Amino acid sequence: EPEVTQTPSHQVTQMGQEVILRCVPISNHLYFYWYRQILGQKVEFLVSFYNNEISEKSEIFDDQFSVERPDGSNFTLKIRSTKLEDSAMYFCASSATKSTDTQYFGPGTRLTVL
């Protein structure tokens, strides 16, 4: 069964450093998303991406964040200068043909900012 994959599973970084979280969405999907989940809290939407551009973003997704689809398979989230409060699980998701299709989530990357 096709699934969303994410790497790395755990990323530890120093405050102020840049990190890139990587995702491979399900191959025939067209909509891509990043969510995050701070420990013990609910999953929060960050950004959606379609047709090589951001289609929606939340107030969390400030200038420190960017997304890219550098090739036909990868979808990345970059945090330019990490802060302690960026520590969270980051989930990538994808959906098939329109935004109301089921969003399938990857296993997540745990980001720890020291």
Partner 1 sequence: GESVGLHLPTLSVQEGDNSIINCAYSNSASDYFIWYKQESGKGPQFIIDIRSNMDKRQGQRVTVLLNKTVKHLSLQIAATQPGDSAVYFCAEHFGNEKLTFGTGTRLTIIP
Site residues (vs partner 1, CB under 8 A)? 4, 31, 33, 35, 41-45, 48, 50, 55-56, 58, 91, 99-100, 102-108
Question: Of the two residues 14 and 51, which places its CB atom closer to partner 1 in the complex?
Answer: 51
Question: Of the two residues 57 and 78, which places its CB atom closer to partner 1 in the complex?
Answer: 57
CB of 21 to partner 1, least distance (A): 13
CB of 38 to partner 1, least distance (A): 12
CB of 20 to partner 1, least distance (A): 19
Q: Which of 33, 63, 32 is nearest to 46 (CA)?
A: 33
Q: What does each C-alpha distance from 70 to 39, 41, 67, 88, 101 come to in angstroms?
A: 30, 31, 9, 24, 24
Question: Of the two residues 19 and 92, which places its CB atom closer to partner 1 in the complex?
Answer: 92
Q: Which of 91, 89, 101 is nearest to 23 (CA)?
A: 91
CB of 16 to partner 1, least distance (A): 27
CA gyration radius, the chain: 13
Question: Of the two residues 17 and 41, which places its CB atom closer to partner 1 in the complex?
Answer: 41
